[in-house]
Amino acid sequence: MEQRTYKTYNQYCATARTLDLVGERWTLLLIRELLTGPKRFGDLQASLRGLGTGLLTARLKHLEREGLAHKITLPPPARTPAYALTEAGEELGPAVLALARWGLKWAMGERRETETFHPGWAVLGLRACFDAEAAAGLRAVYEFRIDDEFFHARIDDGTIETLHGPAQRPDATITISQETFLRVTGQELTLAEAIRSGEASASGDSEALSGLRGLFRLPPPQARKPEGTAT
């Protein structure tokens, strides 16, 4: 009989079985990190501050054991060990993006003093708020620079691919500080307003820059409790 070394709901239900696999603390965040490409152990530690070495090792072993991630060797020039998602792990992507979209609407609110932020998380965030209809017919590569973090988005007629690192030949480049980026994601101001005020800058092909408008739509934040409900 199959042996389980972790907590289980003991329910023969697809939702319960899935939560058996990814419901433990930090597990879905590891999936989130690996959805943007293979990561070395140190990369995961840097992105998931607060996750100790021992627990990170245990969670990675769990993902390997359950067929959601596997070890690889990065291609030259790195040639270092890393972790990547399997096909089963990659198919968790839509679920993670759906959780992110829900969170943008119902869970974000103001940033707490104890909360860390990593600009690289925006790589997946761009996918979560991407408007495919607005991107119909558009083909462009956008490079985003948040302080010293670089990533890019490749738009191809209603589809998006986002990757860490600079683009080889970006059609447009957006430069913004982490502080201003957080104000944009917190919907205190729009990216267009940040550019007009000089808090951000955009350069490159005019058609690509024009197409940027409306590509990424943040849902209006909503209160989870009805008005008048006691806290």
Looking at mean pLDDT, say which of 96-100, 112-116, 224-228 comes out highest.
96-100
Instruction: Give the span between the Cα atoms of 40 and 73, in whole angstroms.
Output: 9
Instruction: Give the span between the Cα atoms of 118 and 222, in whole angstroms.
Output: 24
For residue 4, the model assigns a pLDDT of: 53
CA 171 to chain centre: 22
174 beta partners: 144, 202
pTM of the model: 0.88
Q: How many CB atoms lie within 10 A of CB 138?
A: 17
Q: What is the 3-state secondary structure (H, E, C) of the chain?
A: CCCCCCCCCCCCCHHHHHHHHHCCCCHHHHHHHHCCCCECHHHHHHHCCCCCHHHHHHHHHHHHHCCCEEEEECCCCCCCEEEEECHHHHCCHHHHHHHHHHHHHHCCCCCCCCCCCCHHHHHHHHHHCECCCCCCCCEEEEEEEECCEEEEEEEECCEEEEEECCCCCCCEEEEECHHHHHHHHCCCCCHHHHHHHCCEEEEECHHHHHHHCCCECCCCCCCCCCCCCCC
**Quick one: what percent of the chain has pLDDT higher than 70?**
96
Q: What is the mean pLDDT of residues 139-146?
A: 97
For residue 1, the model assigns a pLDDT of: 38
Q: What is the mean pLDDT of residues 153-168?
A: 95
Dump pLDDT digits (tens) for 30-62.
Answer: 999 999 999 999 999 999 989 999 999 999 999
Are 49 and 33 within 8 A, CB to CB? no
For residue 98, the model assigns a pLDDT of: 96
> Where residue 2 falls among pLDDT bands split at 50, 70, 90?
very low
Tokens representing 172 are 């447009």
For residue 72, the model assigns a pLDDT of: 97
Domains of the chain: 14-91 (1.10.10.10), 119-212 (3.30.1050.10)
For residue 62, the model assigns a pLDDT of: 96
Instruction: Give the span between the Cα atoms of 197 and 47, in whole angstroms.
Output: 31
Dump pLDDT digits (tens) for 169-220.
Answer: 999 999 999 999 999 988 889 898 999 999 999 999 999 999 998 899 988 8
